[in-house]
């Protein structure tokens, strides 16, 4: 048996399950269980508690690189799908770029 992995990782879905759970709870008053395990940016399957979206807490270097790339991709998508006259996409893109810088 291999020793436990001491690193904090990034969930490959960037914790999208949490956002869906919170929206469902706010809308319907129902809160589903979060997964007990997560696939990470580096390809490992780890306990969900060993993942984070906070750049200062992620210690796995391949996961940091993965998160950096993914947040830059999300920033580009947010700008591409922005509605004319609104700066929602620009604000979202700026937030994603800030996160990407934290992981970079």
| Domain boundaries, given as residue ranges, for the chain | 16-103
**Through-space distance between the first and last CA atoms of the chain, rounded to whole angstroms:** 33
SS3 category, 38:
strand
Percent of the chain with pLDDT over 90: 61
Mean pLDDT score of the chain, rounded to an integer? 90
Which of 7-11, 29-33, 81-85 shows the highest mean pLDDT?
Answer: 7-11
Count, residues in the chain:
104
pLDDT of residue 2: 66
The answer on pLDDT for 10 being more than 80 is yes
Runs of H (alpha helix) within 1-104: 16-28, 61-80, 88-103
Q: How confident is the model at residue 58 (pLDDT cuts 50, 70, 90)?
A: very high
CA angle 92, 96, 97 (to 5 degrees): 115
Distance CA 30, CA 44 (A): 30
Distance CA 65, CA 73 (A): 13
């Amino acid at each position: 048996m291999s020793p436990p992995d001491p690193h904090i990782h990034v969930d490959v879905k960037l914790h999208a399950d949490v956002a869906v759970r919170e929206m469902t709870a706010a809308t319907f008053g129902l809160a589903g269980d979060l997964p007990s395990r997560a696939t990470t940016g580096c390809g490992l399957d780890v306990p969900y508690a060993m993942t984070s979206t906070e750049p200062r807490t992620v210690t796995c270097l391949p996961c940091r690189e993965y998160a950096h790339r993914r947040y830059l991709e999300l920033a580009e998508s947010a700008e591409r799908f922005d509605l004319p006259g609104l700066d929602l996409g620009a604000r979202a893109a700026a937030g994603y770029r800030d996160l990407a810088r934290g992981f970079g």
